[in-house]
Structures are given as C-alpha cells and as structure tokens.
Amino acid sequence: MATILGAITSAHVPAIGRAIAQNLQQDPYWKPFFDGYPPARAWLAKAKPDVAVIFYNDHGLNFFLDKLPTFAVGAAAEYRNADEGWGIPTVAPFLGHPALSWHIIESLVADEFDITTCQEMLVDHAATLPMALLWPGGGPWPVRIIPIAMNHVQHPLPSPRRAFKLGQAVGRALESWDEDARVVVLGTGGLSHQLDGERAGFINREFDLMCMDAIVDEPERLTQYSSLDIVREAGAQGTELMAWLAARGALTGRVSKVHANYHVPISNTATGLMVLENQPAPLARAA
Ligand code: DHB
Ligand code: FE
C-alpha cells in the first residue's frame, strides 16, 4: 500500500517563476515569501516521498475554455511544461507513474467520480512552481508526479465539498495500491485573490487565516461553503482553495500541522503555505 506521508499546500503565482530565475529570493519584496519554504524542504528531506500527487488547476496551457474537464487525472509517463508567456523559464520534464495513475483512475471511477483521463498532459505554473519551490534547481526531480487538474476557472465549478470528497477518494485509492510508494500530496493555488474585474486586488486575510486554521482539524467546516461563497469571501481566483481541500481530503489518518507561512501580497495574491503530516490511523488500517 502507498504510505500517505502528508500534504503540502502552496501558492503558485507565476511571478514566483521569474523571481527564481532572477535569484530574487533575498529581495525585500520576495524574502518573506521564500523564507516560508526551507522548513517544508526540511520536512520533505525527512519524509522522503517518491511520488507527488498534485491537485492544481490548469490555466489554459493544457485545457482551454472550449474543453475544460471538472477533474482530469494524468496517466502519462512524462509531463512537460511549456512556455505560458509569463516570462517563466520552463522546467525539466517530470516523470509520471502510469501504473499508480491507472490505479487511481480505476478506483475513482469505481467510486463514482467521472473523471477525464489524460495520457498526454502539459503541466503549467500551478504544478511546476510549487515543485520548484519544494525541490529547487528546476529538475531533474526526485519524485514522480501524478497531476490531478480541477476546474477552478470556468463556471460551473465543483463545490468545495466535492473537491474534498475527490481528495478522500484519492486517499482511498492510494491506500488500496498493492505496491509500495511514499506519497506526498500537493494542493496548489490560493489563497484569496482576484486578478480582474471590479474587485481586482481583493484579499481577505481574515478568511484565509480561518481556512488555514480549519483545514488542519476541521476541514469539513470549509465544505459548508458553496463555490460562489468562496468567490465572495476569497475572490474569483480564491476558488483555488479547493485544491487545498482536495489535498487535505487525501490525508486518511491523524493530521498535524508541521509548518505554515502566510504572506500578503505577492502579485495581488495572498500566498499561503502549509505542511500537514499524516499519521496513519492504526485502527483504520487493521480493519
Ligand atoms: C496570478 C496567476 C495565478 O494563477 C494565481 O494563482 C495568482 C496570481 C497572476 O497572474 O499574477
Ligand atoms: Fe492560479
């Protein structure tokens, strides 16, 4: 069975890619953001995952508004990044884990999630930048990845409850895998931000901090919100919180907070980082 080590949730603002390329980690604007990451890297060095399941949203690189699946699971042997036009250098390709991807896909469909299966898939900044923050250097990457893209872009969005349940179903799939794997689950995006429209620049610190608190022990509290509630409370792109909920849902055991950082703003976005450790529940395992 796969061991679910924990989850890391992180912002994925495109400007981070440019800041990495220009070595701006110590720049006063960037320092409070980048300073959040060494403790996450230290936790990874101890946890030693070999697979990262990444809940994220594609921003038009692989899917566009004409064809936008609600949930899409990668089943490729390799995932490439491509130029998105933000001035972010592309990163080295990621190795996939087709066998585990197909197991997750079969398990999700059996669990009544009618997902899209992607045997080819480009991954955008929402997958690459958290990877680059957690494993600096731009590749080669020490983990294989399984990208799970969620629609946080175009109405109608899945509900926060559905996002959480997707994560729970992925957690069940990982636990029913009959080979060994050490898995870290990533949830990328958020926290509050709105990039355009009348409320461009909208940030809700109080709501963000409430979410970062609740997601540790009471994630179901956050599933009481509708996706439109999240738009109201966290801005139109704040709906990326749902990737955090999916990642949290995949933690099947007792969850503890190892590390958190919150910094406002980076590129009109409230950036959050959390490391949540998963302690498998012995009773659930024995059952
Ligand atoms: C921006 C883009 C994103 O995908 C995001 O989550 C936050 C900010 C941006 O264009 O600045
Ligand atoms: Fe985004």
26-60: per-residue pLDDT in tens? 999 999 999 999 999 999 999 999 999 999 999 99
Q: What is the pLDDT, as a whole number, of residue 286?
A: 46
Q: Out of 54-58, 68-72, 279-283, pick the least confident.
A: 279-283
Residue 152 among the catalytic residues: no
User: Nearest C-alpha to atom 11 of ligand 1 is from which residue?
Assistant: 267
Q: What is the pLDDT, as a whole number, of residue 269?
A: 98
Atom of ligand 1 nearest to the CA of 240: 6
Residue 193 among the catalytic residues: yes
What is the Å distance from ligand 1's center to 87 Cα?
13
User: Whole-angstrom Cα distance, residue 214 to residue 231?
Assistant: 18
Q: Ligand 1 within 6 A of 161 CB? A: no
What is the Å distance from ligand 2's center to 13 Cα?
6
Mean pLDDT of 130-135: 98
User: Whole-angstrom Cα distance, residue 61 to residue 122?
Assistant: 7
Ligand located closest to 18 CA: 1
Q: Which of 12, 59, 97, 125 is catalytic?
A: 125
- Cα 131–Cα 135–Cα 140 angle in degrees, nearest 5: 90
User: Whole-angstrom Cα distance, residue 69 to residue 115?
Assistant: 8
What is the Å distance from ligand 1's center to 257 Cα?
26
Nearest CA-CA partner of 18 in 5, 27, 7? 27
Question: Per residue in 162-214, pLDDT tens?
Answer: 999 999 999 999 999 999 999 999 999 999 999 999 999 999 999 999 999 99
User: Nearest C-alpha to atom 2 of ligand 1 is from which residue?
Assistant: 13
Atom of ligand 1 nearest to the CA of 126: 4
User: Nearest C-alpha to atom 7 of ligand 1 is from which residue?
Assistant: 13
Residue at 195: amino acid letter: L
Q: Ligand 1 within 6 A of 190 CB? A: no
User: Whole-angstrom Cα distance, residue 229 to residue 227?
Assistant: 5
Mean pLDDT of 262-267: 96
What is the Å distance from ligand 1's center to 242 Cα?
15
Nearest CA-CA partner of 40 in 186, 245, 243, 210? 186
H helices present in the chain, as ranges: 15-21, 31-34, 38-47, 98-110, 125-134, 160-175, 205-217, 219-222, 227-234, 241-249, 282-286
Counted residue by residue, the chain has a size of: 287
Q: Ligand 1 within 6 A of 14 CB? A: yes
User: Nearest C-alpha to atom 8 of ligand 1 is from which residue?
Assistant: 13
Average pLDDT along the chain:
96
Q: Ligand 1 within 6 A of 49 CB? A: no
What is the Å distance from ligand 1's center to 68 Cα?
18
For residue 282, pLDDT beyond 70:
no
What percent of the chain stands above pLDDT 70? Answer: 98
User: Whole-angstrom Cα distance, residue 110 to residue 227?
Assistant: 25
User: Whole-angstrom Cα distance, residue 190 to residue 246?
Assistant: 13
Ligand located closest to 152 CA: 2
- Which residue is it, tokens 């509708």? 226
Q: What is the pLDDT, as a whole number, of residue 283?
A: 52
Decide: 90 and 178 in contact? Cβ < 8 Å.
Answer: no
Query: CA 231 from chain center: how many Å?
Result: 18
Q: Ligand 1 within 6 A of 237 CB? A: yes
For residue 110, what are the β-bridge partners? none
Decide: 260 and 273 in contact? Cβ < 8 Å.
Answer: yes
Decide: 260 and 275 in contact? Cβ < 8 Å.
Answer: yes
